[in-house]
Amino acid sequence: MNRINKKLQEAKKIFSIYFSAGYPNLNDTVQIIQDLEKNGVDMIEIGLPFSDPLADGPTIQASSTQALHNGMTTQVLFDQLKDVRKTVTIPLVIMGYFNPMLQYGIENFCQKCAEVGIDGLIIPDLPVDVYADEYKATFEKYGLKNIFLITPQTSVERINFIDSVSDGFIYMVSSASVTGSQTGFGAEQADYFKRIADMNLNNPQVIGFGISDKETFNQATHYAKGAIIGSAFIKHLTQNGTGKIKEFVEEII
C-alpha cells in the first residue's frame, strides 16, 4: 500500500509540512526531512523550486528563488533523495510545477520518484482532465498518487470529477489567495470547510494555505483529515536555520 494511503488510515489528524528543497542551504534538504519526521510530522511536501510559481506567496517564492540560486535542480533533488528511505518512513510528496517535469521527461520523472521513494505529486498547473487523459496511466505505473487542489470557487461538478480520478487525498486550498497571505479563518472559510466535509467524498481532505499555528491547525482539522503548514515553517527556517525544528513542531502539536 502507498504510504499516503496507509497514513490516511491512521486514527489521527495529519500534520504535513511544506518546505522548498535546497533552502536555506542547498544540502539541507534531507536533514530537514529527517528532523521533521523525528519530531512528529506525519507527511512532508518537498517543494521543487521553479522560476514562475503561480500559487506561491512571497515567503515561498523567496525561498524558491534562493534555492535556485543555491543550485537546486530536479536532478540535484533526486540525487539528494537517493538514500532518504534508509532513514525516513513517512510519506514524501513532491510539490512543483509541470514545466520542470516536462523538461525532465514525464516518464523519467515518475521513474526517478519511484526509485527514491516519493509517494505522490502535487502539480498546481496540471489540469485534472489533462492528467486523466494523458498522464494517469504513467503515474499509476510508478505507484504515484497525484494530489489535486480545490478552492472555495471550485464547482461541485469539478470536485466530484477530481474525487473520481484521485486515490490519495484532496488538497483543499483554504481561500482564493496565494500561500502565506492570511492569518486565521473566518466564518466564510468555516462554511467552505463544512460544505466540503458534508459532500462525503471518497478521498479525505487536507487543508493548506493560511495554516500557521496551533489555532489554525485545529480549526482546519476540525473539518478535514489534516492540514499543511508551509510559509510559517519557511519563515522559521529563515529566522532560525535548521537548528530549531523541534520547537516549531511542538508549538503546533
What is the H or E stretch that residue 18 is in? strand 14-20
Please tell me what DSSP assigns to residue 131: I
User: Computed from CA positions of residues 205, 210, 214, 220, in that sequence, does the dihedral angle turn out positive or negative?
Assistant: negative
The phi, psi pair for 18, rounded to 5°, reads: -110, 140
Name the packing angle between helices 245-252 and 214-221 (round to 10°): 50
End-to-end CA distance of the chain: 27
Residue holding cell 519526521? Answer: 37
224 vs 212: CA distance, rounded Å:
16
Bridge partners for 15 per DSSP:
227
178 contacts 144 by C-beta, under 8 angstroms: no
Name the packing angle between helices 106-116 and 74-81 (round to 10°): 20
What is the H or E stretch that residue 156 is in? helix 156-165
Please tell me what DSSP assigns to residue 19: E
Residues marked as catalytic: 45, 56
The phi, psi pair for 145, rounded to 5°, reads: -90, 130
- Collapsing DSSP states into helix, strand and coil, what is residue 198? coil
